[in-house]
Amino acid sequence: MKQVADRIRWTVDLLEAAPSDLILEIGCGTGAAVSLICGRLRDGMVTAVDQSKKMILAARKKNAEHESAGKVRFVAAKFHEADLGESRFHKVFAINVNVFWQNPARELHPIRERLLPGGTLYLVNQPPALGKIRVIEERTTHHLTAAGFDIRQIVVGEQKPVPALRVIARCLP
């Protein structure tokens, strides 16, 4: 079995998933974070979105047991186009989804609508080179603030081969 990247473990630990949490992952890839989170859930659930049908198929295969137990739902779509019904979430997270530091306007509005009161957004980005961390931090925090989020924490972790940046935010009332 392939080893899970440090940034994914770091993010999942950071989420501190409670047994009843409703969690949304944007850009789930092959479902590595989903696998780790579902093991912590009792009656909670993860909704995992990825624009790649190929990645969703891989994630479903990796998490077939969790999916059949009703702990995860997979959606193949661009996030801003995803049909999530009336679902709302305690926690929303994304790992290495570049849109959040590049041009996230159309993604941040639906996130605000999907977060339950007191809900939290976690963005983690591990760039290919250390020199990009500050640019990603500045752009991410600027976009979040402009969209009505309150930055709660910014941390640069010690992941390998390059440190990862995490930004934690909540919606302003």
Q: Note whether residue 45 is domain-resident.
A: yes
* Percent of the chain topping pLDDT 70: 99
71 pLDDT exceeds 70?
yes
Q: Which two tokens stand for residue 31?
A: 């479902």
Q: Please, which pLDDT band fits residue 3 given cuts at 50, 70 and 90?
A: confident
CATH, residue 127:
3.40.50.150
Q: Please, which pLDDT band fits residue 2 given cuts at 50, 70 and 90?
A: low
| Position with higher pLDDT, 2 vs 88 | 88
Q: Please, which pLDDT band fits residue 1 given cuts at 50, 70 and 90?
A: very low
Mean pLDDT of 81-88: 95
pLDDT at 125: 94
As a whole number, the mean pLDDT across the chain is: 94
Q: Which two tokens stand for residue 32?
A: 């590595």
Is-contact 151 169, C-beta < 8 A?
Answer: yes
Q: Note whether residue 160 is domain-resident.
A: yes
Peptide bond into 104 cis (omega under 30): no
Q: Considering the entire predicted model, what is its pTM?
A: 0.95
Mean pLDDT of 152-159: 93
- Scan for tokens 């991410």, then name that residue: 140
- Residue 112 is inside which H or E element, if any? helix 105-114
Q: Note whether residue 1 is domain-resident.
A: no
Residue ranges making up the domain that contains 31: 6-171
Mean pLDDT of 105-113: 90
- Scan for tokens 């790992």, then name that residue: 95
Q: Note whether residue 112 is domain-resident.
A: yes
Count: domains in the chain: 1
47 pLDDT exceeds 90?
yes
